[in-house]
A and B are shown apart, each in its own frame.
Chain A
Amino acid sequence: MKSMEDQFKTKKEQLEAMEVPEELEDRLHTALKSRHRQNNFFIRHKIAAAILIFIFLFGINNFDVLAYYGNKIMGYDKVIYGSLKDLNELGEGQKIDKSYTFKDGSKAILDGAFLDDNKLVVMYRIKAESQDKAFDFNPAELNGFFWGMIGSGSGVYNEESGELAWILEFDSPNIFSRYITFSLTSKDGEEGKIKFRLDMSKAIKGTVKQKINKSIEADGVKYNFSTISATPLSTVIEGNIEAGSKLQMFTGGIENTSRNLVVELREGYEKDGKLITEEIESTGSGTSSKNEKVSFRYEFEGLKKDLKQLTLNFKRTEDIKTIDKEIKIDSKTKNVDVDLVKISSVEIENGNTVITFITDKETTFASGLMINGNEAKLISESSKYIDEGNSIKRASVYEGNGSDMKLIFKNVSRQRLVNQEFILYKAVN
């Protein structure tokens, strides 16, 4: 009788040998052909109509006012952190305290929400008969007036209470979305909905909300920092990029290269009579392009009390270049240049293939080895500085060797330090 592993292997090989139906690509093209994006369309183009419909349909309705303040929302100690944790300790959230019970007895409890100009955070718990059942629910979706999205965040199961506590973030809804529907779908397809009122007037107020109007030029690209919106809950910095001849680095790849810019935001605040300066933790960043205009957005945690100064340090640029090259190698291969990477040597040791690469200290890369047509398993990697710290020597050990060996290079990235900083905000004494 074949072992379990052998039987799975046989089955896996058969799955891999299955041919993808030829008509699949046509089907996918057809599926998208007449589609238009559902979201944002109305917000961008039909806002005037939306206002009128809103007033007509909902303006005179009077839903229960569910939001009230002053209490810490309990049950989230294992999933809450950072600015949100501090604010919850202070009882700054909007308490909702509504629930929905599913047919199988599982219960979703929407405890509360935090809102500022940058985002909406909701906190909910799922009580189910087991941990697995609690995790069967998809992350919640919120819908408001011409606004809606699936949240992103994390959930942690508390074995003591038998509850799965979720904290999910959403983009801040438009000002007309005062009434929000929270939806959660069970594995059986049952959709539980909870309607609640979001009190916009009681959103967490901004500490710093202003134009920046500062620019910095680095590596052939001008970065214009336009606005900062910072509250005790979150900080968002936005701006645009004048890339000139390097525009394609942000819209589609110049020589298949894209650029990231890495920044650091520091806050100076007063605590117990002393001025403390700390880095504010980054929570995300990204660029988007439309009609050859490139915008960027950086997100950070919220600000501390008694803010005195905010400083932005433009640390470095990172250029990531896709190369997708295949290089034939054997034990005689020596000093072959592949873009910014040198294949220094290839050696066979104990039946395994050891490849040594040399790059300058700013360069990293992604590669893999094919042996006789199969991807070789990477056993270990090590690196050390050489050339007085100006270069890095890396050794990669792959399992096995063969007569037909190809190194595949996916991308090469290069970092350049900038380290320029400017003051975004300074308190008036």
Chain B
Amino acid sequence: MVLSMENLVKRAKSGDKDALLKLIIDKKAEFYRLAYLYAGNREDAMDAISEMTVILYNKIYKLKDEDKFYCYAKTILVNACREILRKRKNIVLTDYQDYQETYDNDGKESLMDVFMIMKTLSEDQQEAIKLKYLLDMDYQTIAEICKVPVGTVKSRIFNGVRKIKEALGGDY
């Protein structure tokens, strides 16, 4: 029997571990990419997802709107990543070293441009831009994850993108 997301969330809220795991595993790639973006390596990314799973199990009964499960889960995941980074005393997002190695044959110089410029932006701007452009998140979801109003997210992205484009020498 295939259960709807809403029913799975309802089951998870009542303490059904399998339902909760199914919800997470169904979107494991999304969770992994998000965690990797923050944590910067596979081990920490998997630790963060494990931590998220335990927190969800304990707190999901408080979730009022079943439709918001994934946004709720991602917010918890980002907090778990931040906690891991805090413990590493490294609160910046992943610096993409892993990725850049693989770009040697595909224009490393130009890639360095944008991501070197990114480092000159505030952490908040970097975070919003990465969530928007690399994970395709909408403004509302970014706002909930970053715990700021949608307007603030838009202005962070707008100002950050403007700085990048100015630095690249393009029109904006």
Contacts and interface: CB of A to CB of B under 8 A. Distances in A.
A28 interface: yes
Interface string B76-97: 0001001100100000000010
Given A12-B136, A135-B152, A18 B50 contact: no
Contacts of B170: 3-4
A351 interface: no
B144 to A, nearest CB: 11
Contact of B32 (A1, A24, A38, A288): A24
A286 interface: yes
Contacts of A272: none
Contact of B21 (A20, A32, A287, A322): A32
Interface in B28-43: 28-29, 32-33, 36-37, 42
Contact of A31 (B50, B79, B83, B99): B50
Q: How big is the B interface, by class?
A: 35 or more
Contacts of A137: 147
Which of A1, A28, A149 has the most C-beta atoms of chain B within 10 angstroms of its own C-beta? A28
A28 B164 CA distance: 39
A187 B10 CA distance: 31
A23 B45 CA distance: 12
Contacts of A20: 28-29, 32
B49 interface: yes
A322 B57 contact: no
Interface in A9-62: 10-12, 14-16, 18, 20-21, 23-25, 27-29, 31-32, 35, 37-40
Interface string B107-148: 100110111000000001000000001111000000000111
Contacts of A187: 82
B14 interface: yes
Contact of A4 (B15, B36, B54, B168): B168
Contacts of B110: 1-2, 7
Nearest to A1: B110
B37 A15 contact: yes
A108 to B, nearest CB: 15
B147 A138 contact: yes
Contact of B102 (A3, A14, A284): A14
Interface string A118-140: 00000000000001100111110
A256 interface: yes
B15 A37 contact: yes
A290 B168 CA distance: 59
Given A18-B32, A32-B57, A10 B124 contact: no
A292 B144 CA distance: 35
A28 B14 CA distance: 19
B15 A252 contact: no
A7 B111 contact: yes
Interface in A283-324: 284, 286-290, 320, 322, 324
Contacts of A23: 46
A32 B53 CA distance: 8
Contacts of B79: 138
A8 interface: yes
A407 interface: no
A230 to B, nearest CB: 20
Contact of B36 (A12, A15, A322): A15
Contacts of B103: 10
Given A32-B21, A252-B1, A320-B6, A24 B33 contact: no
A397 to B, nearest CB: 21
B25 interface: yes
B104 interface: no
B49 A256 contact: no
Contacts of A24: 28, 32, 46, 49
A188 interface: yes
A258 interface: yes
Contacts of B25: 25, 28
Contacts of A38: 58
Contacts of A192: none
Contacts of B114: 4, 7-8
Given A11-B111, A15-B37, A252 B11 contact: yes
A220 interface: no
The 3 closest A-B pairs by CB, nearest first: A322-B4, A8-B133, A31-B50
Given A14-B99, A256-B7, 14 more contacts: A15-B36, A15-B99, A23-B46, A25-B25, A25-B28, A27-B49, A28-B25, A31-B51, A253-B1, A256-B2, A258-B7, A284-B64, A320-B4, A324-B2
11 contacts: A2-B111, A10-B103, A11-B99, A39-B61, A131-B148, A132-B148, A135-B146, A189-B86, A258-B10, A284-B64, A289-B14
